[in-house]
Amino acid sequence: MKSENKILNGLPPSLHAEMVDDILIVKLYRPEKRNALNDETVLGIEKIFTAVPSGTKAALVCGEGKHFSAGLDLSELKEIDIVEGIHHSRMWHRALDTVQFGKVPVVAVLHGACVGGGLELAAACHIRVAETSTFYALPEGQRGIFVGGGASVRVPKLIGMARTQDMMLTGRVIPAEEGNIIGISQYLVEEGKGFAKGLELAQKIASNTNMTNYALMHVLPRIADASQDQALMMESLMAAIAQSTPEAKERLKLFLEGKAKKVGE
């Protein structure tokens, strides 16, 4: 446990992390920079989600100040050759993969700017709660650059290629309400109520079995990307594995005995 505490404490000042019961709370902490993401912060995110403390059931990511994240810190963008540029982009990919395909489901609480790299981080999370102040954009095209942290892969899976292309071609800013309708967020709440809603969802997720959460994080995305024949086989295998676990058997027994809540109760 000492090493886990060291990991949570040994973070850059741009990140704060703490445990609330079995929920890991990760906060972007550069409010003076609108929580813009520099390499130190991205590597800190990778460090956190690579070494999630044992006993953690879910995580919540949020931002300090008026914004979730305004994206890549362009002040740190250096002139590098093509190969170095590829390695830099792949570092972001590696770091955000630890969020999407890590040990626990992650809820993002969004407010203010969720732009560029901030949207890439949010898209790597599994549930997104947006406050009404949230706005989304992928402005890289207007700055002569291309997204490099996974937006071209993850965002189209949320809203479709055509909408993503529109955002990237025109720099279009999407407000919270529209973002919720088209699928960037799954929940839309009043200003100041995002954290409470996010924590509520994280706690609900934490009550699932470990096998269920693993399947939904790691298997479901691969089912969605596979051919129908391969996808149906993966579904069959996962269903058989999940229902054979002791936890699943006990929960089914409680349901059949009328001791578990029914849907809608």
Q: Give the residue numbers marked as catalytic.
A: 120, 140
CB 149 within 8 A of CB 119: no
Q: Which of 115, 121, 225, 124 is nearest to 168 (CA)?
A: 115
Do the Cβ atoms of 166 and 172 come closer than 8 Å?
yes
Q: Which residue has the tokens 């095209």?
A: 141
* Axis-axis angle for helices 228-243, 246-256 (nearest 10): 80
